[in-house]
Amino acid sequence: MTAKEIQLQLEKASTPEKRDFLPHFFKTGKGGYGEGDKFIGVIVPDIRKIAKANKSLPSNELTDLLNNEYHECRMCALFILVEKFKKANEADRKQIVDFYLAHSHRINNWDLVDLSSKDILGEYLIDKEDRKILYKLAKSELLWDQRIAVIATFAFIKKSDFTDIINLSEQFLSHKHDLMHKAVGWMLREAGKRDKTVLINFLNKHHKVMPRTMLRYSLEKLTAEEKAYYMKK
């Protein structure tokens, strides 16, 4: 199987409705965060099926697929990486993570980040004491690197490990982009679902300076009274 053949499989699974809808949804117009991105028009479940059927794709073809101009081809490449990571030994997992980070400029939309970061970088770092790479990514000038760092912490949050999401959330309090406000708010909400005290302590310390979108996302699982209290403040 080659990257070109996988693209043909994706094209067969496309629909005119999705091909018309997705460019608008992902802000591909001039000045949008997805400016210039192209879509074949395939739904995520179908992309996953194609990825699972082609999870033995060689590295050179995987590189071509990730460098493809079409969004769904890049997503398929990332799903294949996730499948490879699940079955890999420690040495191979390190190689997959290195490959993933070396191509982070091609993981260039929020859904591509969200569907891969926690399952590759996050899972790799769960048992690692050294998580400096998260903070290196957080300081990157590339928005997608920054979002990768935040979403990777979901893997830790599921294990009730909240240190990194709290640290990163504090670093991003003054971030200008709405996509980062949403990502941080989402992860704070997930932390709060597992340990409400962690979220409340963060809110008590930072709610007055949190971007409104970040605050609103983080509050979604709190009571109506708690939401009103923090939004009013």
Return the exposure string of 79-117: e unless at least 16 CB atoms fall within 10 Å of the residue's CB, then b.
bbbbbbbeebeeeebeebbebbbebbebbbbbbbbbbbb
Q: What is the pLDDT along the chain (233 residues), one digit of tens a residue?
A: 899 999 999 999 999 999 999 999 999 999 999 999 999 999 999 999 999 999 999 999 999 999 999 999 999 999 999 999 999 999 999 999 999 999 999 999 999 999 999 999 999 999 999 999 999 999 999 999 999 999 999 999 999 999 999 999 999 999 999 999 999 999 999 999 999 999 999 999 999 999 999 999 999 999 999 999 999 96
Report the predicted TM-score, pTM, of the whole model to 2 decimal places.
Answer: 0.95
**Is 13 in a helix, a strand, or coil?**
coil
**Is 28 in a helix, a strand, or coil?**
coil
Q: How far apart are CA 65 and CA 57, in angstroms?
A: 10
- The values of phi and psi at residue 70, to 5°, are -90, 135
Q: Which domains does the chain have, with CATH numbers?
A: 1-87 (no CATH), 89-233 (1.25.10.90)
**Contact 138/172 with Cβ under 8 angstroms?**
yes
